[in-house]
Amino acid sequence: MDSVSILSAVLSLLSGIGIFLIACQMMSSNLEAASSDKLKQLFGKTSSNPLLGVGIGATSTALIQSSGATTVMTIGFVNAGIISLYQAATLIYGANIGTTITAQIVALGMFGGAGISTTLIFSGLAGVGAFVSLFAKENKWKTIGGILTGFGMLFVGLALMSGSMEAFAAQDAVKDFLSGITHPLLLVLIGTLLTAIIQSSSVMTSIALTMVVTGLISLDQGILLTMGSNIGSCVVAILAGVTSGLNARRTALIHLLFNCFGVVLFMIVGTLVAWATNGITYGTLFARWFPGVPQTQLAMFHTFFNTVTVAVMLPLTRPLVNLVCRMMPKTEDPDAAPVLSLHYVNENMLRTPAVAVGQVRREILRMADLAMENVDRCIRIITRLNFSEKTHFEQTEEELNFITQHLINYVVRLSEEKGLNDRDHVYLSTTYRSVRDLERVGDYAENVVEYADALRLSQKTFSDDALYEISQLKTLLHQLYDQCRLAYKNEDFDALAQAKEIEEQTDDYTRMMEESHIQRLEQGLCTPMVAAQFLSLSSDLERVADHLLNVAKSIKTA
């Protein structure tokens, strides 16, 4: 092979890898857009049932064709406190099983002899998908076209990689060099490093498949490279965990230990079997079970490896979590100031936009809870003139302002991501006003605390009748908030109708409060200064009701 042929083969390999990576990304983003509602439902069903966790992890990975994305989502959920480390471990187990689907698809595409190969047939879908995307008017069909294009490009990249491998396989010097790499640990290390560089175990496994099919390496070498790719796939999780909280880092470590355990277990068992049977290896067994189809042999080993590792590790999950917690103990600085952050969304979740949309809804609900907590505090402060909660009130108000600024910035970035369907885009467009409405709720609560300060300075208090009316208004606000929250969380239009009725009752009641207080003022039962604070309070709390209802009304357009 001359230098030109060598360069051509190398460039073909690089082109194939590049196209394969782009195809994986295209498939992932479009599959995520098409299955966004299913993904949200899946991750909403996380529980302490380990088998359910494995199933959710496997299904979500199969849906979006990216174990890295599933792992990053899981790390984000742990960091937000949505799921426990135990639940995160089971989701990661499932992701490892789900990622084997890609190898099975690639193996399927390598069939075909003298006739038209499945690789060529599947590659043709890239053109079909491109035409669908180009001429379709509905986003639904554009997404389907994107899926078909990504799927077809997967095999275009595979064909380029296979062609380069065949060119290398024709050279005895190359084959002799690769055949000389037989040490199991070295092959695992090569697989680990290459996957860490590419940041895709699917690509590394596909490269190993093409190398085995073209005869460039043996099945046993391909198996060891594939096992190494499992360890290398942890790089994505480690990078996501390093920039997150303690539990996120623990989750990344769980992922690493889990994959390392699987590799060590299989290498030990493989060594013992070879010693006891005079040389029978995993390659020998899978070649015997799936004769004449090396691509299936390696793909089936990949599935077998991950499934068995999960089966062995599942009963050991709690000891694994305990071990990781001991390796990364929690250290707290009692003098450290609380760190403000968004709880349910983070940078890593931008990799899975459809799921991030659901998390934005959770963040807004948390903001609503915080705003309502401050409404309760401001009412307690002004009715009791007890300012012991004022520091907590101010901290919550600071947090509301933080959420407003950072959540709106996050939504802007999320809106620009690919992989969102029309429904997601419409919902995101409503979040700006919802966040502003909740910020205004906090501002009105802040006004009430200022009225309390004015009462304290004047050494005046509300009358018993005024205090009773405020308590009744507080009850109405809570009834309204419960229905608004239910409507927003579940897109419940019955709850929205109930909220509208309660808001009208609130309007009527605040008008009655104003009239009653004016009568008390005329009768000399309160001073003008007290009357001014009371009327301002009733007006502000009525506006709180308006803003709460605005948030619930956003479901009409979402």
Rounded Cα distance between 106 and 112, Å, is 13
| Angle between helix 184-198 and helix 201-213 axes, rounded to 10 deg | 130
Q: How do residues 367-405 score in pLDDT, each as one tens digit?
A: 999 999 999 999 999 999 999 999 999 999 999 999 999
Distances from the Cα of 212 to the Cα of 15, 169, 170, 198, 307, angstroms? 19, 10, 14, 19, 22
**List of residues 6+ apart from 536 with CB closer than 8 A:** 447, 451
Please report the pLDDT score of residue 114 as a whole number: 45
- Domain 347-556: CATH superfamily is Phosphate transport system protein phou homolog 2; domain 2 (1.20.58.220)
Residue extents of the structural domains in the chain: 3-327, 347-556
* Pairwise pLDDT comparison (241 vs 414), residue with the higher score: 414
pLDDT tens track for 18-72: 887 788 777 767 776 666 666 666 666 666 678 888 988 888 787 776 777 778 7
% of the chain residues with pLDDT over 90:
43
Please report the pLDDT score of residue 522 as a whole number.
78
3-class secondary structure, 508: helix
Per-residue pLDDT of 494-508, as tens digits, reads 999 999 999 999 999
The mean pLDDT of the chain is 85
Q: Which residue has the higher pLDDT, 551 or 11?
A: 551
Asked if 226 and 305 touch (Cβ cutoff 8 Å), the reply is yes
Give 287-290's long-range contacts (Cβ < 8 A, gap of 24+): 287/219
Q: How does pLDDT run across 310-355, given as a tens digit for each residue?
A: 999 999 999 999 999 999 887 755 555 557 788 888 777 787 787 7
pLDDT for residue 1: 53
- Residue 208 burial by Cβ neighbours in a 10 Å radius (0-12, 13-18, 19+): buried
For Cα atoms 546, 549, 555, give the angle at the middle one, nearest 5 degrees: 145
